[in-house]
Amino acid sequence: MKVYKFFILLLLLFLIGCSTTNTDETYSEIDLLQPTADNESVLISDKLTLLEQSSEVVTATVPFTQVKAFVPNEEYKQFEKVQGEDFLYLKLPKNKSFISGRLIYENNTEEEMIIQSLFLQGDKSVNIKLSKSKNWGQSIKYNVPPHSSVSIDIDIKWDINGMQELTFFPIDQTSDSDRYNGGNLSTYRYFVQSKNISVDNDLLKRQSFTIKELSDEQNFVPILSWIDKNKQEPRLSVENDTLVTEEEIKGIKLEKVPYDTKVDLLLVDELGNSSLLVKNLTILKNEETFFDIEPNQIKEINKSKNKQFVLVFNNREEEMLADLKALDLNKKPFFTSYQGVLEFYRTAD
């Protein structure tokens, strides 16, 4: 029961709170959608429905005050029954080339909330548009007033021959001093069935493992952190109201987990430009994993004016379904599909 509560909390916190392979296009500010309150795809309300529902899911010592969510339209929703619980995935209807749904932002604070959202199909950001518009962009930015809810109807372009997973990444731009530190559960990933799939015994076997005893101190997912040349976390300081590192970043550490897995590390900026840092990086159970980033790439990241993030993914595409099926068949103690975010810190001058 503790394990299920942990993963319910993961989802809730999402709602709340070395060569590279580059994509073919480069995105800039002109690819940013910035709808206004009078747009017919935008609805503003004072009803904080999701925040009110959060208290029914989990009890928190500090009340939740923000929601950043994507809710797909009903025609795309499918459910996989796992030990009596429904887990959501998406299925693309025939003759559809996009996924429709709503961005929902709820802000129960005294401060305006600034959110810039991206969607990725696999390792590449995808085009999005307001549902009642013909203009496509690569990200969408909206300033959410205090004590209000904003709903934005959107369409997400989908390549039926691309990877069968959709990641929603709402980037909080409210404060320059805030950073995604690797432990932030700030993305959500859906399996999207847009072609035939099969979960065979070999795939289930790779997803299966046992643990003699679960510890409350144990990491269930490979959390990211930056490391310097000595494989230590760089010290942080404040420069011009922004957090910076005192030692130059050299790479990434992934915390040990009690099972074997493989992860992909993806570099993404706030406008949707992306490059694959490493694919199928092996993580051995109960061992820390280190990954060094090419020095030239560190220099390029430092020069960029855009915010830069490293995203980590394991259990890609149908492996997400195999993860659920293995859990349902009691072949593993908890599901392990994970996506995390680590924001890049520039080095102090």
Task: Provide the residue ranges of all domains of the chain, joining segments of one domain with +.
Answer: 2-193, 204-343
Q: Which range among 28-42, 147-161, 181-195 shows the weakest confidence by mean pLDDT?
A: 181-195
Chain centroid to Cα 6, Å, comes to 17
42-82 pLDDT, tens digit per residue, is 999 999 999 988 766 655 556 788 999 999 999 999 998 99
Q: What is the largest CA-CA distance in the chain?
A: 57
Q: Tokens standing for 146? A: 């205090």
Are 101 and 53 contacting, i.e. CB atoms less than 8 angstroms apart? no
- Please determine, for residue 330, whether its predicted confidence score (pLDDT) is greater than 90: yes
If you compute the radius of gyration of the chain from its CA atoms, what whole number of angstroms results? Answer: 20
217-272 pLDDT, tens digit per residue, is 788 999 999 999 999 999 988 888 788 889 999 999 999 999 999 999 999 999 99
Residue with tokens 């429905």: 49
What is the arithmetic mean of pLDDT over 328-333?
A: 95
Q: Quick one: which H or E segment has residue 77?
A: strand 77-82
Spatial separation of the C-alpha atoms in residues 18 and 10, rounded to whole Å: 30
Q: Select the CATH number that applies to the domain covering 2-193 from these four: 3.30.365.10, 3.40.50.2300, 3.20.10.10, 2.60.40.2550.
A: 2.60.40.2550
Top pLDDT among 30 and 16 is at 30
Q: Which range among 30-44, 46-60, 203-217 shows the weakest confidence by mean pLDDT?
A: 46-60
Spatial separation of the C-alpha atoms in residues 231 and 10, rounded to whole Å: 28
pLDDT at 5: 43
DSSP three-state, residue 251: strand
Are 68 and 170 contacting, i.e. CB atoms less than 8 angstroms apart? yes
Q: Output the DSSP codes for 179-229.
A: --BS-----EEEEEE-S-----HHHHHHH----S---TT--SS--EEEE-T
| pTM, two decimal places | 0.90
What is the arithmetic mean of pLDDT over 115-143?
A: 97
User: In the structure, what pLDDT confidence band is assigned to residue 337 with cuts at 50, 70 and 90?
Assistant: very high
